[in-house]
């Protein structure tokens, strides 16, 4: 994809999504309790068919969906994205039995999914995870199994999810080669969790695994291939994290345009001041550049291009850093009014910080980009 432009049908769909987010989903989000799963909001996303679109669409449509929802209701966007992140490994690597049991509930907004990769000592360096899967034939006398022992941390939707995609060390090899993926229902004995008090409207918590039994039927894919399951999921969702960031940046930019065009100061409007106008121009240019990179990465994913990891990392890096810049400058141009509780920019200011960290911090994205670039260099 060398350029990006929406067709008429896509423009209309995005407009409908923005209106839907503002008019129907935002009121449900506002009734939710911060730090808790908003099940009525999830049910509405299922009823509207939006959760189904997460699993039935490619990366490009997923980005359009996330950007449009983020513009009108960040809580709805996040609830939808977390369902996709937690359940996508089941769609791609799960057995027919696993898919039939869990995915209908996820699509309907009844079953809450979570992606459990990070640990207290293995956040950015996910291959260093230590959650142990120790072989225990007693779990299933006919087929064998494992017991999970250790802790996960910073897990979105924990401890309220109905099931977790869990990555644990089964030891087939060193580093990433010895990691397996499991589908672990929340009611499995030995599994407990606690909420973390975070700057986030959705739940984030820790999970403790005290000899949690898992068998071959709980595996997602093959033993020792779990890290590939995680990376396949992140390669899809990283560009769409960028789309989420672009949606927030566009909302902040539009709010700033309206405010500065109307606010009187120094004998005119704020938009008459060159310092203000130039800053808004910079915000718009950076947002558009980030948006183009996000959709270029999504197009590469849908084409099955070989450079998806680099493009996905570039898209997430630029879009999340850009959104931070745009929202921060939007607050500056609005002044104190933007810091009032309930103001759009006060909300976006809190929301925009986390995407630069989760699903691979900006520093991790730079490492991925550099590694991919140098892999193609022929040295003497």
Above 90 in pLDDT, residue 125? no
pLDDT at 184: 98
Band of pLDDT at residue 2, cut at 50, 70 and 90: very low
Q: Name the least confident of 39-43, 167-171, 280-284, 328-332.
A: 167-171
Above 70 in pLDDT, residue 1? no
CATH number of this structure's domain 8-108: 1.10.540.10
Arithmetic mean of pLDDT over the chain: 94
CATH 1.20.140.10 maps onto the chain at 228-375
pTM over 0.85: yes
CATH 2.40.110.10 maps onto the chain at 113-224
Higher pLDDT, 2 or 215: 215
pLDDT at 174: 81
CATH number of this structure's domain 228-375: 1.20.140.10
pLDDT at 3: 53
CATH number of this structure's domain 113-224: 2.40.110.10
> Which among 277, 120, 278, 284 has a CA at the least distance from the CA of 196?
120
pLDDT at 6: 75
- Of the candidates 97, 359, 363, 372, the residue annotated as catalytic is 359
359 tagged catalytic? yes
Token pair 């560009």: residue: 239
Mean pLDDT of 320-341: 97
Backbone angles phi, psi at 118, to 5 degrees: -70, 150
Above 70 in pLDDT, residue 4? no
CATH 1.10.540.10 maps onto the chain at 8-108
Mean pLDDT of 83-107: 97
């Amino acid at each position: 994809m060398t350029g990006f432009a929406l067709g008429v049908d896509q423009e209309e769909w995005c407009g409908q999504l923005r209106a839907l987010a503002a008019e129907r989903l935002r009121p449900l989000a506002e009734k939710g309790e911060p730090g808790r799963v908003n099940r009525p909001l999830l049910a509405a996303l299922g009823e509207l068919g939006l959760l189904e679109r997460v699993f039935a669409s490619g990366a490009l449509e997923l980005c359009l969906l996330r950007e449009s929802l983020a513009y009108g209701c960040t809580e709805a966007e996040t609830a939808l994205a977390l369902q996709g992140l937690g359940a996508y490994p089941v769609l791609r690597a799960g057995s027919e039995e696993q898919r039939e049991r869990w995915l209908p509930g996820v699509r309907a907004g009844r079953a809450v999914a979570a992606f459990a990769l990070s640990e207290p000592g293995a956040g950015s360096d996910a291959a260093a995870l230590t959650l142990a899967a120790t072989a225990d034939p007693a779990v299933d006398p006919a087929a064998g199994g494992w017991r999970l022992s250790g802790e996960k941390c910073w897990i979105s939707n924990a401890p309220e999810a109905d099931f977790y995609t869990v990555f644990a060390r089964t030891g087939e090899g060193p580093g990433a080669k010895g990691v397996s993926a499991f589908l672990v229902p929340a009611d499995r004995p030995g599994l407990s969790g606690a909420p973390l008090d975070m700057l986030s409207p959705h739940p984030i918590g820790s999970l403790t695994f005290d000899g949690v039994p898992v068998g071959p039927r709980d595996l997602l894919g093959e033993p020792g291939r779990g890290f590939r399951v995680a990376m396949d999921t992140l390669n899809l969702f990283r560009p769409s994290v960028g789309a989420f960031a672009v949606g927030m940046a566009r909302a902040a930019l539009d709010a700033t345009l309206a405010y500065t065009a109307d606010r009187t100061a120094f004998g005119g409007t704020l938009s008459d001041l060159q310092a203000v106008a130039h800053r808004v121009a910079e915000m718009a240019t950076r947002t558009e550049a980030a948006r183009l990179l996000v959709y270029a990465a999504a197009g590469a994913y849908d084409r099955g291009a070989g450079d998806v990891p680099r493009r996905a990392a570039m898209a997430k890096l630029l879009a999340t850093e850009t959104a931070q810049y745009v929202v921060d400058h939007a607050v500056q141009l609005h002044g104190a009014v933007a810091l009032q509780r309930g103001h759009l920019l006060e909300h976006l200011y809190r929301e925009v910080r986390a995407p630069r960290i989760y699903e691979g911090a900006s520093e991790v994205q730079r490492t991925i980009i550099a590694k991919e670039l140098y892999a193609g260099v022929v040295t003497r």
